[in-house]
Amino acid sequence: MRRWMCRRNALIFCVPAVLGLTSCTAAEQATEFSPKRDPAYTTQAEMEYGDGQKAALELTRCTESLWEASFSEPASLAGVVLTFDGDAVSASYKGLAFTVPKSAFGAKNMLMYVTETLDNAAAETLICSQQEDGSWINHGECAGGAYTLTFSESGEPLMFDLPSQPLKLTFTSYTVSPEAAVTTDPIATSSTEAAAPMESTTTITTENNEGASN
């Protein structure tokens, strides 16, 4: 009887130790991970935000802190292009452009959180946990709250999730943008510029962009 009690007590003390080792092993899975750092790329995105609203868009990183979001759905946003350039966000639709500060951008600056987070991710090594499917998950904080950023095994962004807004973007079709061709022949450059017609664009400065976003 005494021997059985000793074995039982040994098991009771061993279980927490095993659980502690399991926890340590899980924690050790978090490691440094470098996502793709292409200076310019395009990805398709499905966006879920607010009170059940959805949108489809093409998100393009032109360079650091310069992004374009071209909407195809819903119908009320189809054709709208948002440009994020430093501290300004501009919206254009069929040649009519509105320049507004970021603080006035509609939908609670949803896409601003995304572009700033992706810029930051491209500039530093992240602490991520690798999942069974090979993807990598990074947890961080942005102006909108705590987010989860998921990357593929090769470093392309897969998902941005910001529950406090709420906001979720799912990315597909990651494509690296080709570098702009540089013409070294000054005569050819002049001829090309002379032949290209000047495009007239109306720019209106306003304090509120919510109408253009909706």
pLDDT of residue 2: 53
Per-residue pLDDT at 21 exceeds 50: no
Higher pLDDT, 29 or 67: 67
Cβ atoms of residues 86 and 99 within 8 Å:
no
Per-residue pLDDT at 62 exceeds 90: yes
pLDDT confidence bin for 166, thresholds 50/70/90: very high
Dihedral sign, CA of 22, 133, 110, 85?
Answer: positive
Cβ atoms of residues 165 and 47 within 8 Å:
no
Per-residue pLDDT at 198 exceeds 60: no
Q: What is the mean pLDDT of residues 132-159?
A: 96
What's the token pair of residue 214?
């909706």
* Cβ atoms within 10 Å of 35's Cβ, excluding its own: 21
pLDDT of residue 74: 85
pLDDT of residue 100: 56
**Architecture, CATH, for domain 32-178+203-213:** Clam (2.50)
Mean of per-residue pLDDT scores for the chain: 75
Domain ranges of the chain: 32-178+203-213
pLDDT confidence bin for 23, thresholds 50/70/90: very low
What's the token pair of residue 209?
């962009």
pLDDT of residue 3: 53
Cβ atoms of residues 37 and 30 within 8 Å:
no
Specify the pTM. Answer: 0.69
What is the residue whose two structure tokens read 């802190």?
65
- Exposure string of 98-115, with b = 16+ CB inside 10 Å and e = fewer, is bbbeeeebbbebbbbbbb
Per-residue pLDDT at 153 exceeds 60: yes
Identity of the residue numbered 174: Y
pLDDT of residue 142: 92
Q: What is the mean pLDDT of residues 181-207?
A: 38
